[in-house]
């Protein structure tokens, strides 16, 4: 099998966890989380008919927070429920069924069922790990979909994901337009710079089993997303945290809201005007947390850099221009950009 899944390790633990899951003291959520305060990141009504107000709210939240929640986004709650139901059902299948969709160890593709993602940090002789298993599927555009990695069970997995992608498409068009206008650009500029119709929607399902020592472990360590933008729905188990003024806070859960993360590529394209959000995921002692982020990514050979319209003598480029594939390789292997 190669990699031991967290869901296999979890039941074997009795009040303790293996050393590779214990974070250093400056990362442990039991020490570093601000208690008694939930971070209320901006909540934006996506259906507001006052477009100028909406542009201003999106631009301010993208600049000052890098994370916000949008409500009244027109994705039917049934489509979200179905997405969540089939994802949960897949992770509740016997392990051998899930392993049929495991990403091959020698594959460059990210798609499939897995556990390890980032190059893990070693402390002494111990390689640190996140308390999470995951599933990756490209769900848009149709030309990049590889159904080999789409579960056949539950039978409605494909239908639920395709339906969600169809609704997500409308949200993405509108969000990119508002983000563009918020930078003083034409409405289509950011979408065009991101790869246009070749923009890839990469769905990830994060599965965080109950953990006997949630004070010591993290599901996903502190990071910014490599994507342009990430659009996420979680289940109702608290776990998303954001860094604000150097401190870690739980992010308030709003049912049916879409959580928006500004990613690294958007920060680069906006030449630092929009900020990628530093966030992480905690785990729960008694409950399974699941989240469904969709990473909006350019094709690997697409070149991303600060947009020429946003650069001048007073505001020179703050970031290097490179292909998205080069950027991902550097970040995953912890090579300075």
> Is 167 considered catalytic here?
no
Residue 310 exposed, middle or buried by CB count within 10 Å (0-12, 13-18, 19+): middle
Report how far residue 293's alpha carbon sits from residue 289's, in angstroms, rounded to the nearest whole number.
13
DSSP 202-221: EEEEEEE---S-TTT--SEE
Q: Would you say 190 and 172 are in contact if contact means Cβ atoms under 8 Å apart?
A: no
Peptide linkage before 141 cis (omega within 30 of 0): yes
225 included as an active-site residue: yes
Eight-state DSSP code of residue 74: S
> DSSP of 133-201, one letter per residue?
EEEEEEEESGGG--GGGS-SSSTTHHHHHHHHHHHHHHHHHHHHHHHHHHTTS-TTHHHHHTTGGG-EE
Residue 223 bears catalytic tag: yes
Per annotation, catalytic residue among 128, 133, 138, 225? 225
Active-site residue, selected from the candidate residues 103, 191, 261, 279: 279
Q: Between the CA of residue 267 and those of 62, 72, 243, 302, what are the distances in Å? A: 9, 26, 17, 16
> Does the annotation mark 204 as catalytic?
yes
Q: In what order do the strands lie in the sheet with 33-39?
A: 33-39, 247-251, 240-244, 279-281, 220-223
The one catalytic residue in 192, 223, 275, 322 is 223
Handedness of CA 80, 81, 85, 91 (dihedral sign): positive
Catalytic residue among 98, 204, 302, 331: 204
Catalytically active residues, by annotation = 204, 223, 225, 279
């Amino acid at each position: 099998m190669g990699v031991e899944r967290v869901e296999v390790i979890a039941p074997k633990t009795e009040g303790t966890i293996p050393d590779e899951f214990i974070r250093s003291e400056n990362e442990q959520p039991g020490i570093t989380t601000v208690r008694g305060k939930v971070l209320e990141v901006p909540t934006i009504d996506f259906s507001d008919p006052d477009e100028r107000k909406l542009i201003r709210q999106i631009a301010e939240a993208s600049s000052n927070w890098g994370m916000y929640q949008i409500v009244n986004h027109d994705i039917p709650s049934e489509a979200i429920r179905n997405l969540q139901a089939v994802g949960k059902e897949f992770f509740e299948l016997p392990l051998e069924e899930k392993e049929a969709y495991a990403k091959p160890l020698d594959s460059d593709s990210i798609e499939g069922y897995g556990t390890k993602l980032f190059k893990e940090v070693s402390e002494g002789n111990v390689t640190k790990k996140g308390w999470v298993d995951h599933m990756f599927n490209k769900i848009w555009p149709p030309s990049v979909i590889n159904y080999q990695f789409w579960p056949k069970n539950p039978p409605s997995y494909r239908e639920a994901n395709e339906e969600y992608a169809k609704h997500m498409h409308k949200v993405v068009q509108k969000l990119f337009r508002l983000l563009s206008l918020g930078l003083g650009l034409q409405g289509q500029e950011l979408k065009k710079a991101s790869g246009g119709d070749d923009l890839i929607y990469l769905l990830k399902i994060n599965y965080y089993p109950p953990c006997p020592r949630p004070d010591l472990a993290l599901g996903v360590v502190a990071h910014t997303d490599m994507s342009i933008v990430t659009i996420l729905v979680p289940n109702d188990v608290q776990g998303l945290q954001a860094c604000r003024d150097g401190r870690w806070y739980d992010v308030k859960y709003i049912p049916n809201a879409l959580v928006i993360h500004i990613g690294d590529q958007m920060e680069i394209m906006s030449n630092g005007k929009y900020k990628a959000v530093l966030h992480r995921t905690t785990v729960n002692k008694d409950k399974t947390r699941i989240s469904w982020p969709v990473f909006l990514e350019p094709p690997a050979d697409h070149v991303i850099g600060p947009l020429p319209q946003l650069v001048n003598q007073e505001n020179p480029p703050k970031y290097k221009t490179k292909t998205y594939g080069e950027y991902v390789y550097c970040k995953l292997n912890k090579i300075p950009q």
